[in-house]
């Protein structure tokens, strides 16, 4: 199988992996060497490939909605516990258990506010 026998759908998959700013230059270089193996007009081939870029994209996985914790809250709790004199590893463990809540961390320690 030669490069000229690749269907335009295959070229669309290949072009999906190129940075957008290089699409036109790459197409021009391939067209000049007749890599597409067709006698169609340059613009017809270009738009045939570009219009297939979206259909060549793999099916998107369904979006998963996760409630990511606010890192600033965790960092603040951790830093406060370290300032209070707790070892960094213990403060990290306690912050994780308390899910970033300083009040809950103090409650776990038995220091209810």
Neighbours of 58 (CB within 10 A): 7
Q: How far apart are CA 82 and CA 80, in angstroms?
A: 5
pLDDT by 10s per residue, the chain, length 113 = 677 888 888 888 899 888 889 999 999 999 999 898 888 898 999 999 988 887 756 665 555 555 666 788 888 999 999 999 999 899 999 998 998 899 999 998 888 75
Phi-psi region of 54 (alpha: psi -120 to 50; beta: other; left: phi over 0): alpha
CB 82 within 8 A of CB 91: yes
93: CB partners within 8 A, 6+ apart:
none
Note the pTM of the prediction, 2 decimals: 0.48
């Amino acid at each position: 199988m030669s490069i000229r026998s690749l269907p335009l759908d295959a070229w669309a998959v290949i072009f999906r992996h190129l940075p957008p700013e290089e699409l036109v230059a790459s197409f021009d270089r391939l067209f000049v060497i007749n890599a597409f193996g067709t006698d169609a007009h340059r613009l017809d081939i270009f738009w045939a490939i570009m219009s297939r870029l979206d259909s060549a994209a793999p099916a998107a996985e369904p979006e998963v909605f996760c409630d990511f914790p606010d890192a600033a809250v965790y960092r603040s709790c951790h830093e406060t516990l370290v300032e209070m004199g707790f070892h960094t590893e213990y403060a990290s463990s306690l912050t994780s258990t308390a899910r970033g809540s300083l009040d809950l961390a103090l409650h776990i320690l038995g220091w209810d506010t």
